[in-house]
């Protein structure tokens, strides 16, 4: 059995859940055998930490698929168990860092969203250099972009940043499903034109 | 025609990515339900929402968002007695409210199948407690099914209706947040023909009447039915034993925790032990447990919360005279969500096997890292009227973060989006428990502590849920309290279901029977009642001040629609415009030259659209209204004591280019 795990983290309202749904739907049309992964919806829309997991599962053969000790999967990813982490908020990348191991790929957004504690002057927001150095202690495969800026620049709105980030993931990590499978899902969904454009922008990063 | 909507048209062979909640709803649809109701509650809300949304295209389906869980479950019972299969859903604490109908359900039994789907919330990410509702069944005798994944969520729900009819019990289907909000692949089954779903209530006094000896007779009957169900569950497909090799160790688990267990054992590379997967976690047949115990001398139960299974299984072990050891809570914690990490660690300690290196080092690194990170808590949406209400209350009672001034009023909290007001920077609640506890507890405090003023808060949906008798009680008993109803026209917290206050639906359609809340409050005997727009914060704050000076029960209705719904409606009605803030137009701007960083808007009001930016030339921080997220509510404009905020004409794109890459605080 092979697994490919992706953790997506960020804040409520950033489109985290949509990214997970697109990735899971894309797997339905590929020859993957199982896909799962949970979403945390509590606090969505309200700036709280949100995470979603995508787990792609390939069985070696028919008997493994029927083996009760192999064919049931947790909706969660265990600590150190992710192949890729996408984060739409710099600080939250560190909250999602528990899922990383030395081979994981990290893609994160550089635009910060300051929490209330910082607003009230009780703590300070970490520098991007601190975030990167903490991540480097775990893995070398770190990529970060200003997805907010790219989204505003190209779409005059922030709503496209999640799909741009998804494109970046496909550009940097060896995801076991086809780019065309993602494009097919985006093509049939809402706002297809912008989404396809955003995904392509990400692929070029 | 293609199957454009698999949820209602899908048949055997079809496959889709669905939410756990949708899988439960689909299972009920495959079982041919004609009734579905709930009072909304996270994580269960989508179970009924998806049926409600599609009901126009589903023949003979009645759906209802009831005013509370007590009514909702009674509705499901009435439908069942009319011969219609019924589904009722609620969140964990909903069963506290519906515990009375649940208590009677086994006495009377059902007619057509009845399933009660409960969304539990371990770790309480969306709740005010993390109670394990399974314990209720020790006295309601409602059988409990626990699906482990999305496929089982559908399949179990479908089968639950048959079991319900066979043994005349309402069946509880338990699903934690992790399953309700899991999205994954579902293979559909066939749908039942729906043309013949119709009601025919047949009198059944033998079962439906409960008085004196009739109640005792029904008590006897359900205990007998429980024994029959136990017999059936010895061989049923729902409980499975996976045999081990020669190992004398056994694992017992159920639901999502079972899924964690199987993956944990795979991660740890352990395949030799015997496993019992319980699909039904109540009732448990002694014979099944006995069969599992055969050949074992050490058993561990892997489950969440205080150990409902352990409690039952240890009793059975005693009755069977099992000589081996039974563990459970020794290795798996009682509070908080039991995650896959907890299961991996617990199993490794139990078996005395080392943890995999990648896992161990990730856990350790993370422990060091966590303490260094600033906490982040949720807050109201940008432009939420609740923010204005809390700001007004705090101003009226002299509280200030920046000046470090405390408030001396007691603020009684309640449940809804407005509960976020208990978090910083507002800290505007002194207690929070269950729905409508605020006024009830607050009333007594106002009687016993005459030195302090008491303000009780409530949302419109919460008020209609069970607040009306509490308010009437306060009036009848001469309480001295200010009651603020935060009427945003929706049950916002749980995904925006309608309330009797909803005037316009999201598509712009007017509601047929809108309630006049002010008249209702008056009719309960409140003479001091005023309805105001909370966004006019100065007026609202001075109104609160005057109300606090009056004796008796005073009611202020903070009336303004949830901004999220307003924006959504505008988007739908104005498709070409693609929305609200994003198109530019007249916006609010903080003039750098005038702003003295007094923090009135940034910390006291704390609208998240007001952000910190760095001036690239001077390297100084300044406050800035993020044009891409501001919804133009105008509250900051009203409160700025230095008139530093002004209205301007705006084009988002040019502004962004002007400010260049300085969106980031640091690089
Ligand atoms: C007994 C019970 N049922 C359901 C819930 C779930 N729930 C949490 S908040 C809420 C309603 C909130 O609506 P409202 O009072 O109008 O406040 P709003 O969220 O709109 O601010 C509900 C139903 C609960 N907490 N307790
Ligand atoms: S959903 Fe509505 S009521 Fe809830 S925080 Fe957002 S704007 Fe406020
Ligand atoms: S007008 Fe001011 S308070 Fe209102 S959303 Fe915009 S920045 Fe926030």
Q: Are residues B99 and B181 in the same domain?
A: yes
Mutate to test the interface with B, among A39, A42, A133 (most CBs of B within 10 A): A42
Q: CA–CA separation, B325 vs B327, rounded Å? A: 7
Domain-located, residue B47: yes
The domain that holds B257 is classified in CATH as 3.40.50.920
Kindly indicate the confidence band of residue B578, based on its pLDDT and cuts at 50, 70 and 90: very low
Please check whether residue B379 lies inside any domain of the structure. no
| ipTM beyond cut 0.90 | yes
pLDDT value of residue B651: 57
The yes-or-no verdict on residue B605 having pLDDT over 50 is: yes
- Report the C-alpha gap between B657 and B131 in whole angstroms: 51
Residue A143: per-residue pLDDT: 98
pLDDT attached to residue A172: 97
Ligand 1 lined by B460 (C-beta under 6 Å)? yes
DSSP string for A103-134: T-EEEEE------HHHHTTSS-PPPHHHHHHH
Does B175 reside within a domain? yes
The reply to whether B192 and B244 lie within a common domain is: no
Given CB atoms, is B361 within the 8 Å cutoff of chain A? yes
| Cα distance between residue B49 and residue B532, in whole Å | 31
Pair B344, A78: CB distance under 8 Å: yes
Q: For residue A44, is pLDDT > 70?
A: no
Other beta carbons within 10 Å of B597 = 16
> Which CATH number belongs to the domain containing residue B62 in this structure?
3.40.50.970
Question: Given 3-state DSSP classes, what are the helix, strand and coil percentages for chain B, each rounded to the nearest 5?
Answer: 40, 20, 40
Mean pLDDT over each residue of chain B, to the nearest integer:
94
A-chain CB neighbours of B361 within 8 Å are 80, 101
B-chain residue closest to A43, CA distance: B378
- The answer to whether the beta carbons of residues B420 and B486 sit under 8 Å apart is no
Q: What is the CATH code for A2-203?
A: 3.40.920.10
Q: Which two tokens stand for residue B622?
A: 């300044």
- pLDDT reported for residue B232: 98
pLDDT band at B663 (very low <50, low <70, confident <90, very high): very low
Q: Taking Cα atoms as reference points, which of B605, B645, B639 lies closest to residue B384?
A: B605
Buried b (16+ CB within 10 A) or exposed e, A105-128: bbbbbbbbbbbbbbbbeeeebbeb
Q: What is the mean pLDDT of residues B207-228?
A: 98
Mean pLDDT, chain A, rounded, equals: 93
What is the whole-number distance in angstroms between the Cα of residue B579 and the centre of ligand 1? Answer: 28
CB proximity list for B577: less than 8 A, separation 6 or greater: B570, B583
**Domain contains B629:** yes
pTM of the full predicted structure?
Answer: 0.96
Domain assignment present for residue B390? The answer is: yes
| B349 & B464 share domain | no
Quick one: average pLDDT of A65-70?
95
Looking at the structure, do residues B502 and B531 belong to the same domain, yes or no? yes
Task: State both tokens at B384.
Answer: 């939420």
Backbone angles phi, psi at B518, to 5 degrees: -60, -45
Quick one: average pLDDT of B448-456? 96
Within 8 A of B182 by CB-CB distance, chain A residues are: 36-39, 75
Give which of B152, B373, B563 to mutate to test A binding, by max A Cβ within 10 Å: B373
CATH number for the domain that contains residue B656: 3.30.70
**Which whole number is the average pLDDT over B250-256?**
98
Same domain, B143 and B268: no
The token pair that represents B485 in the structure block: 């109803």
Q: Which residues pair with B650 in a beta bridge?
A: B585
Are B662 and A149 contacting, i.e. CB atoms less than 8 angstroms apart? no
Token digits of residue B220: 């006897």
Q: Do both B81 and B122 map to the same domain?
A: yes
Provide the residue range defining the domain that includes B640: 581-666
Listed residue (A38, A34, A36) closest to A52, CA to CA = A38
Domain range list for chain A = 2-203
> Closest to A39 (Cβ–Cβ): which among B183, B271, B275?
B183
A16-25: pLDDT as tens digits: 999 999 999 9
Q: Within a domain: residue B366?
A: no
Share of chain B above pLDDT 90, in %: 90
Q: What is the pLDDT of residue B349?
A: 98
Number of domains composing chain B: 4
Q: Which residues of B touch A42 (CB under 8 A)?
A: 42-43, 125-126, 177
Single out the residue of B283, B248, B253 nearest to residue B169, CA to CA.
Answer: B283
Q: Are B417 and B557 in a shared domain? A: yes
């Amino acid at each position: 059995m092979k697994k490919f795990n992706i953790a997506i983290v960020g804040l409520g309202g950033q489109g985290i859940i949509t990214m997970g749904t697109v990735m899971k739907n894309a797997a339905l049309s590929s020859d993957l055998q199982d896909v799962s992964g949970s979403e945390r919806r509590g606090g969505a829309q309200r700036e709280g930490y949100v995470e979603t997991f995508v787990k792609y599962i390939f069985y070696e053969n028919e008997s493994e698929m029927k083996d009760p000790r192999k064919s049931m999967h947790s909706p969660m990813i265990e600590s150190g168990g992710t192949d890729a982490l996408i984060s739409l908020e710099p600080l939250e990348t560190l909250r999602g860092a528990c899922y990383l191991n030395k081979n994981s790929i990290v893609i994160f957004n550089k635009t910060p969203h300051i929490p209330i504690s910082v607003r009230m002057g009780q703590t300070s927001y970490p520098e991007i250099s601190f975030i990167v150095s903490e991540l480097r202690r775990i893995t070398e495969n770190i990529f970060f972009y200003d997805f907010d800026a790219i989204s505003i620049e190209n779409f005059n709105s922030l709503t496209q940043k999640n799909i741009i980030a998804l494109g970046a993931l496909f550009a940097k990590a060896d995801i076991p499903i086809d780019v065309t499978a993602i494009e097919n899902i985006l093509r049939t969904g809402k706002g297809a034109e912008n989404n396809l454009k955003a995904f392509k922008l990400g692929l070029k990063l | 025609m293609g199957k454009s909507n698999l949820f209602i048209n899908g048949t055997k062979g079809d496959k889709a990515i669905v939410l756990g909640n949708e899988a439960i709803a689909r299972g009920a649809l495959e079982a041919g339900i004609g009734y579905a109701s709930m009072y909304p509650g996270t994580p269960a809300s989508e179970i009924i929402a998806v049926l409600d949304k599609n009901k126009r295209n589903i023949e003979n389906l009645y759906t209802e968002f009831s005013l509370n869980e007590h009514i909702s479950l009674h509705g499901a019972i009435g439908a069942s007695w009319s011969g219609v299969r019924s589904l009722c859903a609620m969140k964990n604490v909903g069963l506290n409210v519906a515990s009375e109908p649940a208590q009677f359900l086994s006495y009377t039994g059902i007619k057509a199948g009845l399933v009660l789907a409960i969304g539990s919330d371990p770790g309480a990410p969306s709740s005010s407690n993390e109670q394990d509702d399974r314990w209720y069944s020790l006295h309601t005798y409602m059988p409990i099914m626990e699906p482990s994944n999305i496929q089982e969520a559908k399949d179990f729900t479908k089968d639950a209706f048959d079991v319900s009819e066979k043994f005349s019990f309402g069946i509880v289907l338990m699903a934690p947040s992790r399953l309700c909000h899991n999205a994954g692949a579902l293979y559909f089954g066939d749908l039942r023909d729906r043309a013949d779903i119709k009601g025919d209530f047949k009198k059944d006094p033998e079962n439906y009447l409960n008085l004196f000896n009739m109640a005792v007779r029904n008590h006897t009957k359900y205990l007998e039915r429980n024994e029959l169900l136990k017999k059936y569950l010895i061989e049923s497909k729902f409980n499975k034993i996976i045999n081990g090799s020669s190992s004398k160790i056994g694992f017992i688990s159920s639901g999502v925790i079972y899924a964690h267990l199987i993956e944990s054992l795979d991660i740890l590379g352990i395949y030799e032990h015997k496993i019992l997967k319980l699909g039904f976690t109540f009732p448990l047949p002694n014979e099944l447990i006995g069969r599992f115990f055969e050949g074992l001398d050490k058993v561990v139960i892997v489950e969440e919360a205080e150990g409902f299974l352990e409690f039952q299984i240890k009793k059975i072990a005693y009755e069977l005279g099992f000589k081996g050891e039974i563990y459970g809570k020794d290795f798996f914690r009682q509070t908080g969500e039991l995650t896959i990490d907890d299961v991996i660690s617990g199993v490794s300690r139990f078996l005395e096997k080392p943890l995999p290196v990648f896992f161990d080092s990730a856990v350790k690194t993370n422990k060091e890292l966590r303490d260094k990170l600033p906490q982040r808590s949720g807050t109201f949406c940008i432009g939420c009227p609740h923010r204005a209400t809390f700001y007004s209350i705090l101003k009226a009672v002299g509280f200030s973060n920046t000046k470090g001034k405390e408030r001396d009023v007691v603020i009684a909290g309640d449940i809804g989006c407005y509960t976020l007001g208990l978090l910083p920077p507002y800290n505007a609640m002194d207690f929070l428990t269950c729905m409508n506890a605020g006024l009830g507890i607050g009333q007594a405090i106002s009687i016993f502590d005459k030195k302090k003023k008491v303000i009780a808060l409530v949302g419109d949906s919460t008020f209609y849920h069970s607040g009306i008798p509490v308010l009437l009680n306060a009036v009848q008993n001469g309480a001295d309290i200010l009651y603020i109803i935060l009427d945003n026209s929706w049950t916002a917290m749980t995904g925006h279901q309608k309330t009797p206050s909803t005037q316009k639906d999201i598509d712009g359609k007017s509601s047929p029977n809108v309630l006049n809340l002010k008249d209702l409050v008056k009719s309960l005997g409140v003479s001091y009642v005023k309805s105001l727009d909370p966004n006019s914060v100065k007026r609202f704050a001075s109104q609160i001040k005057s109300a606090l000076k009056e004796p008796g029960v005073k009611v202020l209705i903070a009336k303004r629609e949830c901004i999220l719904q307003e924006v959504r409606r505008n988007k739908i009605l104005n498709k070409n415009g693609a929305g609200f803030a994003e198109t530019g137009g007249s916006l609010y701007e903080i003039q750098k030259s005038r702003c003295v960083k007094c923090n009135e808007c940034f910390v006291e009001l704390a609208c998240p659209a007001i952000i910190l930016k760095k001036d690239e030339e001077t390297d100084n921080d300044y406050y800035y209204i993020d044009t891409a997220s501001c919804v133009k509510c105008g509250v900051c404009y009203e409160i700025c004591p230095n008139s530093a905020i002004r209205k301007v004409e705006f084009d988002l794109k040019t502004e962004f280019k002007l400010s260049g890459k300085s969106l980031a605080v640091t690089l």
